[in-house]
Structure 1
Amino acid sequence: MTSTEILQREDAEHYLFWAMEIGEKMLTSGAEVGRVEDSIRRICMAYGAKRVDVFSITSCIIATVYGEAFDACTQTRRVAEMKNNLHMLDELNRLSRRICDQRLKPEEIKEEVARISSEPPYPFAAQLFFYALVSCSFCIFFGGSLKDALASAVIGVMLKVAETFLQKGSSNPMIITLLCAVVGGLLSNLAVKFGLGEDADLISIGNIMLFIPGMAFTNAIRDIFSRDMIAGGVRFAESIILAIVIALGFTFTGLLF
């Protein structure tokens, strides 16, 4: 199919579905809304759409395709959760460019999306190592001793295990983050109490950095400067609320001790 062919409604439905599928996965992987909207628009235009209107925020994508053979075709996606995955985002970017260049058929797009979605994440052991590394590094960066850094690294590993366990029982990121913050603060104070660390605050700082929504906050600022004010404002508010939840969790355990 060339870009000058007239789409029939059934074709438009199929191609818009896969464009939305790619856009949704990009958004959940950490893409800013401008990138998501542009990718959906380019994919639909590549298959002969005369006009494509896309509106996206962090929790919803709405797209309408206009063609000469039909009035309009609209689809909506409810985006439930965010899981930053820059590797998947890069693969989806490559796929969207390939679709625009080669005009892949729906079956080919389905196969590529399934392949990208099925790629395994980092092994759990590697995730434990990086949690320990981040905790240890930030603890030292903010002035913690070697003893504090080692305690922070061990607690970071324990927080990853706790987070994985909690995700199996709840899909609410606020609740999971709050509980992890409480556990992290509790373990930090216990480490100092039993002589495994020297400063509970510095140990906690290393663990806090594991949950700070830095990528979401950065994307919020980018969206705002790109004039996506609603999406940027929503993402900014979510980041601030999540940061407050983290602070409350660690502060609560600090007050107990």
Structure 2
Amino acid sequence: MNRQEAEQYLYYAMNIGELLLENGAEVGRVEDTVRRICLAGGAERADVFSITSNMSASIYGKEFGSCTQTRRVVNTVNDFHKLEELNCLSRKICEDGMTFGEIEREIERIQKEQGYSFWWLVLDYALISGSFCVFFGGNARDMVISALIGVLLKFLMTFMQKTAANHLFNALICSVAGGFLANLAVFASVADHADRISIGNIMLLIPGIAFTNSLRDMFSGDTITGLIRFMESILLAVIIAFGFNIAGFYFR
């Protein structure tokens, strides 16, 4: 493998690593996947370092020397189906070997795969909001209002994501809107407990997966990434609580 081929092979390995990060994989999995792909491609040594928003990899081989590439990862979501597809692709590359064209086609196929439809997610948001409202003591009227607010929050989140605004700002706007609508419903006498309605809506925003991943990263030895995710989760939770409280103060 000459230097040009090594650079191209590393490029595709980094593409897979970037997609893993974007879809919610832990950094240990990302580093191990990219390293294994590079070693399977003929590199004698592969050093990969990743945090939540950045990834860099260096490979070495006698035939091509040393190659290094970095990636900046901005937006992350949790898509476990794509993670499974990417894991299968990485295993196939390592076990069977694939040409550059085959790897590129598989990456494009995975990127184009659609998850749940928008309206299915709207239904999920309604069910989650209403269910948690009842779980924490809300009555039937509270449940219905919480479910309706959950639907409105889904539309608002989708709109905010299109504006490419900071995710902390998005969370603040959504939490203020959710708290305001919950208190407005009680003020208009169509619901009874604003706090229980708000709890149902908070569950749509709370960073539970990110917080769990931060602890897992720290226990796995990825202390830097774990601390970054931990602080991001705490900051996001504080902003969400602040947003709901701002809305509550207006009606006091």
- Give the alignment's TM-score, normalised by structure 1: 0.96
Letter in 2 for 1:75: Q
* Alignment partners' CA distance in 1, 2:93 and 2:209: 28
> What do residues 53-83 of structure 1 show as CA deviations (whole Å, max 9, x unaligned)?
0000001001000111133100000011111
Match of 1:70 in 2: 64
SS in structure 2 at match of 1:152: helix
* Alignment partners' CA distance in 2, 1:21 and 1:171: 24
SS in structure 1 at match of 2:204: coil
Within the candidate set 50, 55, 64, 1:56 is matched to: 50
State the Cα distance separating 1:171 from its structure 2 match: 3.2
| Paired residues for 1:94-243 under 5 Å | 94-243=88-237
Letter in 2 for 1:250: F
Within the candidate set 11, 15, 23, 1:21 is matched to: 15
State the Cα distance separating 1:217 from its structure 2 match: 0.9
- Deviating runs (4+, > 6 A) in structure 1? none
Letter in 2 for 1:115: R
* Alignment partners' CA distance in 2, 1:28 and 1:171: 17
> What do residues 189-221 of structure 1 show as CA deviations (whole Å, max 9, x unaligned)?
011111221100000000000011111111111
* Alignment partners' CA distance in 2, 1:169 and 1:51: 42
SS in structure 2 at match of 1:43: helix
SS in structure 2 at match of 1:210: helix
Letter in 2 for 1:110: E
Match of 1:3 in 2: none
Number of positions where the alignment pairs a residue of Structure 1 with one of Structure 2: 251
> What root-mean-square deviation, in Å, do the aligned CA atoms of Structure 1 and Structure 2 show?
0.9
Within the candidate set 70, 75, 93, 2:87 is matched to: 93
* Alignment partners' CA distance in 2, 1:56 and 1:170: 24
Gaps of 5+ in 1: 1-6
> What do residues 21-63 of structure 1 show as CA deviations (whole Å, max 9, x unaligned)?
1111111101100000000001011111111000000010010
Letter in 2 for 1:104: M
* Alignment partners' CA distance in 2, 1:72 and 1:250: 52
Gaps of 5+ in 2: none
Identical-residue share of aligned pairs (%): 54
State the Cα distance separating 1:183 from its structure 2 match: 0.4
* Alignment partners' CA distance in 2, 1:121 and 1:131: 15
SS in structure 2 at match of 1:227: coil
Single out whichever of 199-208 and 10-19 deviates more from structure 2. Answer: 10-19
- C-alpha contact 2:6 2:64 (8 A) present in aligned 1: no
Match of 1:9 in 2: 3
Match of 1:33 in 2: 27
* Alignment partners' CA distance in 1, 2:100 and 2:191: 57
Letter in 2 for 1:196: V
- C-alpha contact 1:30 1:215 (8 A) present in aligned 2: no
SS in structure 1 at match of 2:205: coil
Match of 1:4 in 2: none
